[in-house]
Amino acid sequence: MKIVLNGKETCCREETELLAFVLACGFNPERVVVQHNGRILTREEWAGVTVRENDRIDVLQFVGGG
């Protein structure tokens, strides 16, 4: 199954809950924000969203900036 993660095509074993996906990717849920198909999700919403074929997922975090 293909998804687009951070703008790059990425392979994914199967459909999965977003929260599980985030954890599986090794992200720390406390420090990232996630956009699913262009919609910004609160952390509470992650459990209720399923990652499906062709979904666009963006995971962002704060970095040093001016």
Residues in contact with other proteins by CB under 8 A are: 5-7, 25-28, 31-33, 35, 40-43, 58-66
User: Which CB atom, from 36 or from 54, has the smaller least distance to other proteins?
Assistant: 36
Rounded distance between C-alpha atoms, residue 30 and residue 52, angstroms: 23
Nearer to other proteins, 35 or 52 (CB): 35
Question: Smallest distance from the beta carbon of 43 to other proteins, in angstroms?
Answer: 8
Give the Cα separation of 9 and 63 in Å (integer).
Answer: 24
- Whose tokens are 């599980």? That residue is 20
CB of 54 to other proteins, least distance (A): 19
Determine the 3-state secondary structure of 45 from DSSP.
Answer: helix
